Structure formats: structure tokens, C-alpha cells
Amino acid sequence: MEVGGRRFFVHTCVWHTAAPLVHTRVSSPLYTHVYRMRVAHTCVWQRMAVEEWITAGTGLHVMRDHPNHNYAMNAGMWGGVSGVITKEILEKAIGDMEKTGQSEYGDDQRFLRNVVYPLHSDGDATEHDSYSCKRWKAAPFPTKRSSNLQHVGQVFDGNNQPRMGDIDCCMRGKRNESPGECRKEPDWTHG
């Protein structure tokens, strides 16, 4: 990816729930300079949002693009520069999980919310949000959502078909429009 005349290698890491914190190892300078976390079912990429983040020069990028993404950080929708998660923080988190010998659903979300987000929510983060931007003091996405209402973090099935329940439940119709402050343009009714 090239932004502002500078070329960036953006590493996409696919990880599995059974080892929710292992994916954060790409934050080591030995691996890459910029990385973007993405789970296997996250097929929609918001390139312009990523370019805004790189241009901003912040350490962390957080995206929320659905009414149900009202978390500090969604596990498959963030990126960081090398060192955003230090080796010491990562080793402690993995060590804590290894002590119990378990990995529970949501461990990654709790780690991001309780450890990573507080370290960077003081201005060292670029955040894009289509629905809860006021709560998180985030900017709207720089691009208009497509008319099919697919979103960053959209879940797809094994045949690469979107899980329509996520769209039908929460994004269709006037009552599910993005709040005005979460739109880059007033007529972008769904972000």
C-alpha cells in the first residue's frame, strides 16, 4: 500500500479463537512495520480508513461499523504499528492464559478493552465508527457504505455469502440509520 508517497507493507493476520492472543505477536518489530488485524470471516476492507490512519501517524487504528460493534475494540477490526503492544504486555497476557490452561470466548475482546485500548485512547489512536462515534469520540468512515449495507467485520459463510441476519436485524430501514454525527456526509444515511 502506498500513502503519501511512502510504501507500507500491511500484514494481514488470520487467527483462530482457540489462541486469541497469539495474533498480537505481529506487533513485534521483527515482523512488520504496520499490521492490520483481520479474522477469517472479515472480508470487507476499508482501504480509505486505513490510509487515513497511516497518514495520521497514530499507533493504533480501531474500526466499528455496525450497531453491535459498540466495544472499545473489536477483535478483528483494528491495526497497529510495530510496538503498539509491547513484548512485556503480550507475554503477561499469554502467561495469564497459560496459567489457567484455558482460552474462553471473549478473552481477546477483554484483552483489547482492558489492556491495549487504555494505552492508546489518549490521542495515539485513529478511530472510525459508523454508529457509536459519539461514545468513543471517533471519526466517521471516509467512504460511503455500499447500497447492500455490507460492513467492516461482515460475516460470510463458507460459500462467501454474507450472513444477512446481521444486516437485516440492525442496519436496514430508517430506524437503523447512522447518527448524523457518525456520517462524513449528511446523505450517507448508513455511514
Instruction: Give 86-135 pLDDT, tens digit per residue.
Output: 878 878 777 777 777 666 777 778 888 888 888 887 788 999 999 999 99
Tell me what pLDDT residue 153 has. 80
Higher-confidence residue of 26 and 47: namely 47
Q: In CATH, which of 3.40.50, 2.60.40, 3.90.550, 3.90.79 is domain 2-182?
A: 3.90.550
Task: Collapse the DSSP code of 174 into the 3-class scheme (helix H, G, I; strand E, B; otherwise coil) and give the result.
Answer: helix
Find the DSSP H helices in 67-190: 87-100, 107-111, 117-120, 133-136, 164-170
Q: What is the pLDDT of residues 49-93, one digit of tens each?
A: 888 888 898 988 999 999 988 889 988 788 888 777 887 887 877
Q: Domain locations in the chain?
A: 2-182
Res. 191: pLDDT tops 50: yes
